[in-house]
Amino acid sequence: MVTRNVTLPQQAGRSPSGWYATIAVLVALIALGIYAYSRELSEGMAVTGMRNIGPMGGATWGLYITFVVYFVGLSFAGISTAAVIRLARIDRLRPISRMAELLTVITLALAGLAILADLGQPLRGIVNLFRYARPQSPFFGTFTLVISGYLFASLVYLYLDGRRDAWLSEQTAERHLGFYRLWAAGYRDTPAERERHDRATFWLAIAIVPLLVTAHSTLGFVFGLQVGRPGWFSALQAPAFVILAGVSGLGMLAIIAAAVRRWLHREEELTVAIFRWLSTALTILLLTYLYLVVVELLTNLYTGSSRERDVMSELLFGEYAWIYWGAVGTFVIALVLLLVRAALPSLRSAVWPVVAVGGLVNLGAIGKRYLIVVPSQTKGTLLPYDEGSYTPAWTEFALIIGLIALGVLAYLLFTRYFPIVELPRPATSEEKEAR
């Protein structure tokens, strides 16, 4: 058995079976997404299913904004897991730290692309946002704190945290040495250097946590401050955004960790204890989120204005009921699965329940994000326009699937060329002597 201390996930020159086929499928999906976007650019956003609110009876924010919120939500758990590991010194969780950081970086980039896809004038958007962005608009927070600030901070964190592994890889790899050397940037694994690294990443983690809470809250404010949209105007939006972000992000992290564990044979480092921690965190967050769901339900049904009640009853009994009950159902089933897993000794060391929960809560999160965005537009006009409807067009699905494929591709490529699990520290000279 080859010693795995300092080897890369893939030996140079060897690709796992199905690698090229997977890449080909992903590239095809991305190409389809690009084609859909090109149609949108040339023919206008009429190719989507979105239409004006009011006389036209449509929804003007649809699948794109749904996934902007979903992607930003996923990014929350990534870096916050890495930060918690660093700040609370939960060393046994370090193996998932880089997976989490990478998840944040990639999903934030996807969120930025999804926003661009939703703009009627994307090039103007890029210039005018940097030039004219107004702090009074909740989008200011999304644009500056989330897409620019948070992404940059996470990139810095990912970079600094990977220097050591870049240095180790440079010593043992046969190819791509320039890339590792660039990343390592003169790392020398001395105790002084390690201490400096620890301190830098510690303070970085402390700085990132308030940034990400503010950033996700402003995304909630985008919706929660709008008095004109029944179903949106609520003080619960910001906290609910943050909590659901944690749920979906940790769920995705569980899926990624299980995939790495299975396909890269990392049973040794990605222990069951890690999945147990993930399931505990998921349980707490899910309980909190379901509490918020109940609070929102009771508030709107008991005493909301008639428009609020209209939107709520559409969610519970009308056109959107299948999504609402489906999403709530996934959360409840996920919670039950987690509690059963904690109770039954036979399941306590199983990984698959946490993966199943991860899948369920992500489906539920997508559904819930869709329900935040759409029904308040089609069924929530304050003036008595006719009821509206919205169905995403093929271009929207193609573009979103293309974005997801892009994210998966980026993740896979990273895993191919860089250790996704932190490499164990090789024994220092003192430790070797002590043996």
Partner 1 sequence: MRRGIVVLMVVVGFVLQATAFFFLAAPLGTPTAVRFSEPRLPFAPLLFIVGIMLVFSAALVYELLPDRGADEG
Partner 2 sequence: MTRYGMVVDLDRCMGCRACMEACKVENATPESSFFMYVFRFEHGEYPASRVSFLPRPCMHCDNAPCVKVCPVGARYKREDGIVATDWDRCIGCRYCEVACPYGVNSFNWKDPDEAQYLDWVGAAVTTEDGSTPPYRNPALDEEYGPEHRKIAGGGHVQGVMEKCTFCVHRVEDGLDPACAQTCPVRALMFGDLDDPDSVPSKALRERESFTLLEAAGTEPRVHYVGGSPPSEDARQVDAPEVRV
For the packed helices 321-343 and 272-303, what is the interaxial angle rounded to 10 degrees? 140
How many other CB atoms sit within 10 Å of the CB of residue 416? 15
Q: How far is the CB of 176 from partner 1 (least distance, A)?
A: 21
Compute the least distance from the CB of residue 49 to partner 2, in Å.
11
Choosing from 13, 120, 178, 191, the residue that interacts with partner 1 (CB under 8 A) is 191
Q: Which stretch binds partner 1 (CB under 8 A): 78-86, 91-99, 132-140, 286-294?
A: 132-140
Q: Is 153 an interacting residue with respect to partner 1 (CB under 8 A)? A: yes
Among the residues of 225-344, which ranges form H helices? 237-263, 272-303, 306-317, 321-343
Cβ at position 206, least distance to partner 1 in Å: 10
As a whole number of angstroms, the distance between CA 122 and CA 38 comes to 12
**Dihedral sign, Cα of residue 176, residue 178, residue 183, residue 187:** positive
Shortest gap between Cβ of 182 and partner 1 (angstroms)? Answer: 12
Of 128 and 171, the one with the shorter C-beta distance to partner 2 is 128
209-240 residues labelled b (16+ CB within 10 A) or e (exposed): eebbebbbbbbbbbbbbbeebbbbbbeebbbb
Spell out the residues 6+ positions from residue 317 whose beta carbon is closer than 8 angstroms to its own.
Answer: none
Angle at 103 between CA 101 and CA 107, to 5 degrees: 125
CB of 148 to partner 1, least distance (A): 5
Q: Which is nearer to partner 2, 201 or 377 (CB)?
A: 377
Would you say 14 or 432 has its CB closer to partner 1?
432
Give Cα separations from 321 to 138, 315, 326, 368, 376 (angstroms).
Answer: 29, 5, 8, 11, 14
Q: Is residue 383 packed enough to be buried (19+ CB in 10 Å), middle (13-18) or exposed (0-12)? A: exposed
Residue range at the interface with partner 1 (CB under 8 A); choices 44-52, 84-92, 98-106, 155-163? 155-163
Q: Is 139 in the site for partner 1 (CB under 8 A)?
A: no
Tokens representing 44 are 């206008």
Rounded to the nearest 5°, which phi and psi values hold at 349? -105, 15
Residue 209's binding partner among partner 2, partner 1, none (Cβ under 5 to 8 angstroms by kind) is none
List residues binding partner 2 (CB under 8 A): 43-46, 50-57, 60-61, 118-122, 124-125, 128-129, 131-134, 136-140, 143, 222, 225-229, 306, 377, 381-386
> Which one, 356 or 400, has the nearer CB to partner 2?
400
Q: Is 156 in the site for partner 1 (CB under 8 A)?
A: yes
190 binds, among partner 2, partner 1, none (CB under 5 to 8 A by kind): partner 1
Under the criterion CB under 8 A, does residue 322 sit at the interface with partner 1? no
Query: Which of 19, 130, 317, 352 is the binder for partner 1 (CB under 8 A)?
Result: 130
Which tokens is 405 given? 């494929």
For residue 345, state whether it binds partner 1 (rule: CB under 8 A).
no
Q: Which two tokens stand for residue 131?
A: 């030039």
- Residue nearer to partner 1 on the CB measure, 27 or 427: 427
Give helix 151-161 / helix 97-118 axis angle, nearest 10°.
150
Residue 210 makes contact with partner 1 by CB under 8 A: no
What is the biggest distance separating any 2 CA atoms in the chain, rounded to whole angstroms? 82
Binding status of residue 259 toward partner 1 by CB under 8 A: no
In the complex, the smallest distance separating the C-beta of residue 292 from partner 2, rounded to whole angstroms, is 22
Provide, rounded to whole angstroms, the least separation between the CB of residue 128 and partner 2. 4
Q: Tell me the C-alpha to C-alpha distance, in Å, between residue 26 and each of 15, 20, 163, 294.
A: 16, 10, 29, 39
Report how far residue 260's alpha carbon sits from residue 373's, in angstroms, rounded to the nearest whole number: 33
Q: Which of 59-67, 190-198, 237-245, 310-318 is the region at the interface with partner 1 (rule: CB under 8 A)?
A: 190-198
How far lies 111's CA from each of 227, 294, 298, 305, in Å? Answer: 26, 29, 32, 34
Q: Which does 228 bind (CB under 5 to 8 A by kind): partner 2, partner 1, none?
A: partner 2
Q: Shortest distance, CB of residue 134 to partner 1, whole angstroms? A: 4
Question: Does position 14 bind partner 1 by CB under 8 A?
Answer: no
Q: Note whether 149 binds partner 1 by CB under 8 A.
A: yes
- Measured between alpha carbons, how far is residue 417 from residues 9, 12, 174, 360, 387 in Å? 8, 9, 11, 30, 52
Least distance to partner 1, CB of residue 145, Å? 7
145 binds partner 1 (CB under 8 A): yes
**136 is an interface residue for partner 1 by CB under 8 A:** yes
Nearest approach, Cβ of residue 243 and partner 1 (Å):
25
Give contact residues for partner 1 (rule: CB under 8 A): 129-136, 140, 143-145, 148-149, 152-153, 156-157, 159-160, 163, 185-186, 188, 190-193, 196-197, 199-201, 203-204, 207, 211
